[in-house]
Structure 1
Amino acid sequence: MKLEKVTVAIENLLLDPNNPRFADISDDVLNIDKSRFAEPTIQAAAYEKMTNPKFDVITLANSIATVGFVPVDNIVVGKLNDNQYYVIEGNRRTTAIKYLLKQHSLGQTTLSNDKIEKLKTVDILVVDDSENATEYVGMIIQGIRNVSGIKEWDAFQKAQFINDMIDKGKQPGEISRTIGMSVKEINRYYKTYSVMLQFRTDEEYAGKWKPSYFSHFDEVLKKPALRTFFDFNDETFRFDNITNLKRFYEWIVPDEEGKATISDAHNVRRLSELIHDKTALNYLDDRNLDKAVNYINQKYFNQNKITASECLNKINSAISAFKNILAEGLEKELSEEEFSELKAGIESMNENYKRVETLKNNGHKSV
């Protein structure tokens, strides 16, 4: 990786109109050709997106106004032409500087001449000017900092980055070594991105698509029963049962009152208990998750009354499975979400054990 340090005028530093972060605030397709990056309209649109409150550029600008621009991390750029560069890493810092200079020129804030002069030029690192090298090295830098780094992108942004890498011919193993994510996680993000793209391009539901639905589809793909219900295709990474898929869209998209049948990704896990029962599905189609869950719970209770000994046998099986995680070294394969789920389950069991202990002791006292 070849990086050259140069000093450039801030006006010649262009924001990236294809910044992956924009997926979180806009449904625009991020495929603007590099030859058009310098167009004023495109730069104005990128600036407007970067000043969205979600990116908190104003806070950063206020910090720079107070203490000056401290280049703890270099702004990394690609060369567009002899005078202009486009930002690969550091769009937020670049926007903050442009914002301060704009506010000063409009009289909305007043900075000293010394601060103004210092902000007009910045030191940057220019990636190798080879077309392919610039693009690939830029992706590596973004991946290291934002996929597995200290300032992580949201799940959909990570998945979009991984999808872009794979589209450029990179294998999951190579991506794993580059950005520090496991191959298992990379494949998971890629598959979920694919079904999200299917949602995003649906003629009927595309307008209701949001990046935040990523976790809903991630939960679907974790459950074999749900993958079967939606007929997940292991070759195309798409769902083939369009009828059931559109039902799912209806369940997660808010109605006219802003209420969704399945408003939380955690509730998607409950679906595997409901999809095999026609009555429960009817309740779901009527936008009543609670009624569907209560119906299944009552039905299960009536059909599966068990003894304390049977419960204890199941608990012992779970304990044995937990011990196997340690004995086989399987803890290395647990994702962060799986680990969190395991932790929550154990904490819940501890609370329930205390209740059982209290109730049993009270029962002995009353005898």
Structure 2
Amino acid sequence: MERKFPFIENIPIENLKLDLLNPRLPKSKQGKDEKTVIEYLLLEAATEELMIAIGKNGFFAGELLLVTEDLTEENKYIVIEGNRRLTAVKLLLHPSLATVKKVSVQEISTNAHFHPKEVPCLIFKEKEEILKYLGFRHITGIKSWRLLEKARYLSEMKARDYSIISFQQSCVEIAKIIGSRSDYVKRLLIGYELYKLVEDEKFYQIDGLNDTRFYLNYFTDSLNKENIRKFLGVNIDSDNPLEGINKVNLKKIIYWWFEKNQGQSRVLGDSEGLKLLDAVIGNSDALNSFEKNGTTIYEAYEMTDDMDIQFENKIRDSLKAIEQADKISNKVKTFYIELYEDLKSIRKIALKINDFKDKIIQQGDDF
């Protein structure tokens, strides 16, 4: 009687193969061989800690490996989900597979109480069935991947399942599948396309920058900033968002974000840094000073109109706070000791600001 997919079965470790195209692998490591994957997982994925846990407690049956039959080799299965766990077990059984951290791996294997020779697997008929499941589990579910891994997975999903519909509509459909918002999917997909342009340029030969050290959120968060989008030539509402891409400006931004000078980059890609950069890009004088005169992002930001807006907002916020304090002052039972000094300080600062304003106005009076 033919078994109905998916079904659970214990499979010998010798019959399980690592997925060489796993989206969690950096592109530079994909499609190589098991030796490359094992080396990467040892160096970057805390595999030794997992070896220790499995060696001490055994393989947790509740964490099934998700596999599909290898069509090129009889009785072999490719592990689509669970490659780190499979690597840990393989190294417990065969520590000689390690090409890095050899001493540590051998020691862990020697001291282990458990060396599983087979593990429980959930066998699927086709890889696509697993990928759809992983879409929710790893994009919006409890076992979230790094952003670059998410974006790479969604890009592969779009190419595989939604190539015949428009980009905008594909974002809507993918969002339904993974239980997310279409604007988030859109920013991930566009951000990944920008990343691929940078990767294709060998990361502009910036020292230390590669696919394992690139922060994709710099792109995805930047796509919420109008001035940065225009600077890059990205139209997020188009079915071809990168049609007008400005590769010269793309290179500039990557250098600003990632090239280190005395251990510091010119602009941080966090929310504060992107706010500063967006304001500077939106002001031609500030941008020119930042690009050509070597001013810091903070100095350039002070040249933007955004400082005027911030000044007004802070004054209005302060006024609102004082008005609120005034409204409840008649209900205060005991005024705090420093109140008088604080009020004097407020008056002093207000007069100082007003005097400075009058001075600026007088300087501009040509009469």
Which residue number in structure 2 is paired with residue 270 of structure 1? 276
8 A Cα contact 2:67 2:78, kept in partner: yes
- The residue aligned with 2:239 is 235
In structure 1, C-alpha distance between the alignment counterparts of 2:346 and 2:230, rounded to whole Å: 51
Does residue 96 of structure 1 match 2:96? no
Instruction: Select between 281-290 and 219-228 the one with higher mean Cα deviation.
Output: 281-290
Aligned mates of 1:304, 1:99 — CA distance in 2: 58
Deviations 1:172-193 (A, max 9, x none): 3443333222223212211211
Counterpart in 1 of 2:47?
A: 57
Identity of aligned residues (%): 23
In structure 2, what residue type is equivalent to 1:242? K
Deviates more, 1:83-92 or 1:191-200: 191-200
String of CA shifts for 1:84-143, please: whole Å, max 9, x gaps: 11111111111111121123999634368x833xx1112211111xxxxx1311211322
Distance 1:314 1:241 in 2: 44
TM-score, normalised to structure 2, is: 0.71
Deviation by residue 1:144-169 (Cα, 9 ceiling, x = unmatched) = 22111212101111111111100012
Partner of 1:19: 22
Per the alignment, in what secondary structure is the counterpart of residue 110 of structure 1?
A: helix
Cα 1:204–1:158, aligned 2, differ >3 Å: closer, same or farther? Answer: closer
What residue identity is the alignment partner of 1:10?
I
Query: What residue is the counterpart of 1:295 in the other structure?
Result: 303
Q: Quick check: which one's helix share is greater?
A: 1
TM-score, length of structure 1 as denominator length: 0.71
Asked if residue 67 in structure 1 is aligned to residue 60 in structure 2, the reply is no
Q: Is the 8 A contact 1:172 1:186 kept in 2?
A: yes
Letter of the aligned partner of 1:155 in structure 2?
L
Match of 2:198 in 1: 199
Considering only CA atoms, is the larger Rg found in Structure 1 or Structure 2? 2
Contact 2:203 2:210 survives alignment (8 Å):
no
| 1:230–1:244 contact (8 Å) kept in structure 2 | yes
Alignment partners' CA distance in 2, 1:121 and 1:304: 63
Cα pair 2:29 2:36 within 8 Å, conserved: no
Q: Give the Cα–Cα distance (whole angstroms) in 1 for the partners of residues 176 and 342 of structure 2.
A: 57
Partners in 2 of 1:29 and 1:164 — Cα distance?
17
The counterpart of 1:260, out of the listed 238, 261, 265, is 265
Q: Distance in 2 between matches of 1:209 and 1:95?
A: 24
C-alpha separation in 1, matches of 2:133 and 2:313: 58
Pick aligned residue for 1:84 from 72, 76, 80: 76
Going from structure 1 to structure 2, the CA distance change for 1:305 and 1:73 (only over 3 Å counts) comes to closer
Contact conserved, 1:220 with 1:269, CA < 8 A, in 2? no
How much does 1:29 deviate? 6.4
Task: Specify the SS of the correspondent of 2:78.
Answer: strand
CA shift for structure 1 position 214: 1.1
Partners of 1:270 and 1:122 lie apart in 2 by: 52
Aligned to 1:248: 253
Q: Give 5+ residue unaligned stretches, structure 1.
A: 33-40, 129-133, 317-357
Could you tell me which of 211, 222, 225 is aligned with 1:223?
Answer: 225
Question: 1:1-367 residue pairs with structure 2 within 5 A?
Answer: 2-23=5-26, 27-28=27-28, 30=30, 32=31, 42-52=33-43, 54-80=44-70, 81-103=73-95, 108=107, 109-110=109-110, 115-116=114-115, 119-128=116-125, 134-170=126-162, 171-202=170-201, 205=204, 208-210=209-211, 212-233=214-235, 234-238=238-242, 240-255=245-260, 257-266=262-271, 267-285=273-291, 286=294, 288-296=296-304, 300-301=307-308, 311=316, 362-363=342-343
Structure 1 residue 279: Cα displacement: 3.4
Query: Could you report, residue by residue, the CA deviation over 1:181-235 in whole angstroms, capped at 9, with x for unpaired residues?
Result: 2223212211211112222223672664545331111122101222122221433
Aligned to 1:35: none
* 8 Å CA contact 2:276, 2:298 repeated in 1: no
Ranges in structure 2 where 5+ consecutive residues have no aligned partner: 98-104, 163-169, 322-337, 348-367
What's the Cα RMSD here?
3.5
In 1, distance between residues paired with 2:93 and 2:29? 29
Change in Cα spacing, 1:245 to 1:315, as seen in structure 2 (3 Å) is: farther
Q: Which amino acid aligns with 1:274?
A: V
For the structure 1 residues 88 and 362, does the alpha-carbon distance in structure 2 shift closer, same or farther, using more than 3 Å as the test?
same
- Judge conservation of contact 1:195–1:237 (CA < 8 Å) in 2: no
> How far apart are residue 244 of structure 1 and its match?
2.3
> Is the contact made by 1:194 and 1:237 (CA closer than 8 Å) also made in structure 2?
no
| In 1, Cα distance between equivalents of 2:42 and 2:92 | 12
Rounded to whole Å, the distance in 1 between the matches of 2:158 and 2:57 is 41
